Homo-oligomer: A and B are copies of this chain.
């Protein structure tokens, strides 16, 4: 039976670019293969950014090539601009994701462009995609969609206006990211409902953070209003943690456990997913791994969703 939700693993990109150490390429390949073996069907494996800015991502093209050698999944790469997109498309990535901040302050600080200038950049990427690799998909992820550490509240209308502009520019889908861990379930439901009302089936993924412990509650809230793609990171790696012990990204293991326990098929094998922490730990010695389900284990007589439906 086909999965009912798509878990989009972002650890090899979002996670690895957030830690100080650089995982050696061979270790990245082993980790990515383990994630594939666990049944994940979408993965963000690299950022195409200058190696002097993010040395952790200097092997992006090689890592994408490796991920493409594994069948039946979507290989994504983050690109900040047209130049990165060119490299990612040449490497053969199935899908590009472009972060576009809804907060003017965050956008300036991050890419020295306003949100609307970023929409122009997205248009340039789309034109390039049409030229170089017309079958590749382009996603825009609206960062700081639920609040910003610089400007505080981000008006919901600003987020929606930006989403509409991106959809009209021609992206395949628009996701909403809680970059700063400020989202709450009521807000998540409001914004994703409005997003679907405005841009229909271009409404994309929920990228939630666990900064204040609400990551899974916010994913549940998004699921309740029809979101079916969820970004998360194995062992909660990455996502700009604020404090020691505070994970940023939603932990893939706990997210998959939640859905499977609810009877919602993820297509992911929880045992193999937890086993994929091994190659992650081997490639990043000493890095703390988050996640409650791996520590406590699965409940006695646990029934995954597929078996529960059968």
Contacts and interface: CB of A to CB of B under 8 A. Distances in A.
B213 A254 contact: yes
Nearest to A182: B299
Interface in A139-194: 147-153, 180-182, 184-187
Contacts of A242: 295-297
Interface in A242-298: 242-246, 251, 254, 257-258, 261-264, 291-293, 295-297
Contacts of A210: 292
A213 B212 contact: no
B295 A243 contact: yes
A192 to B, nearest CB: 15
A58 B292 CA distance: 33
A282 B186 CA distance: 36
Contact of A292 (B213, B220, B291, B293): B213
Nearest to A292: B213
A211 interface: yes
Contacts of A299: 147, 149, 152, 180-182, 212
Contacts of A54: none
Nearest to A288: B245
Contacts of A217: 216-217, 219-220, 258
Most buried by B among A214, A219, A242: A214
A258 B185 contact: yes
A300 interface: yes
Contact of A216 (B147, B148, B152, B214): B214
A34 interface: no
Interface residues of A, number: 47
A301 interface: yes
A205 interface: no
A221 interface: yes
Contacts of A264: 186
Given A185-B220, A242-B295, A301 B258 contact: no
Contacts of A148: 300
A185 B262 contact: yes
Given A184-B262, A220-B217, A220-B220, A296 B149 contact: no
A212 B293 contact: yes
Given A149-B300, A214-B254, A295 B221 contact: no
A146 B293 CA distance: 16
Contacts of A181: 296, 299
14 contacts: A147-B299, A147-B300, A151-B300, A184-B262, A185-B262, A187-B261, A212-B296, A212-B299, A213-B216, A213-B293, A214-B254, A217-B217, A243-B296, A246-B296
Given A147-B299, A187-B261, 12 more contacts: A149-B299, A150-B300, A152-B300, A181-B299, A182-B299, A210-B292, A211-B292, A216-B217, A224-B224, A242-B295, A245-B295, A246-B295
